[in-house]
Amino acid sequence: MRLLGIDTGGSSLKAAPVEVTTGVLAADVVSFPTPSPATPAAIAAVVKRIAESFPELGGPVGFAFPSVVRAGVACTAANVDQGWIGTDGARLVREATGRPAAFLNDADAAGLAEVRVGAGGGQDGTVIMLTFGTGIGSAIFHDGHLMPNTEFGHMEIRGMEAEHRASARVRKVECLGWPEWAQRVNEVLACMHALFWPDLFILGGGVVENWASFGPLLESPTRVVPAELGNTAGIVGAALAASEL
Binding stretches for ligand BGC (CB under 6 A): 66-68, 76, 78-79, 105-107, 131, 133, 135, 137, 151, 153, 163
- Secondary structure of the chain as H, E, C letters: CEEEEEEECCCEEEEEEEECCCCEECCCCEEEECCCCCCHHHHHHHHHHHHHHCCCCCCCEEEEECCCEECCEECCCCCCCHHHCCCEHHHHHHHHHCCCEEEEEHHHHHHHHHHHHCCCCCCCCEEEEEEECCCEEEEEEECCEEECCCCHHHCEECCEEHHHHHCHHHHHHCCCCHHHHHHHHHHHHHHHHHHHCCCEEEEECHHHHHHHHHHHHCCCCCEEEECCCHHHHHHHHHHHHHHCC
CB of 67 to ligand BGC, least distance (A): 5
Of residues 66 and 120, the one with the C-beta less far from ligand BGC: 66
Q: How far is the CB of 167 from ligand BGC (least distance, A)?
A: 8
Least separation in angstroms between residue 164's CB and ligand BGC is: 10
- CB 33 to ligand BGC: min, Å: 17
Q: Are 48 and 97 in contact (CB under 8 A)?
A: yes
Residue with CB nearest ligand BGC? 135
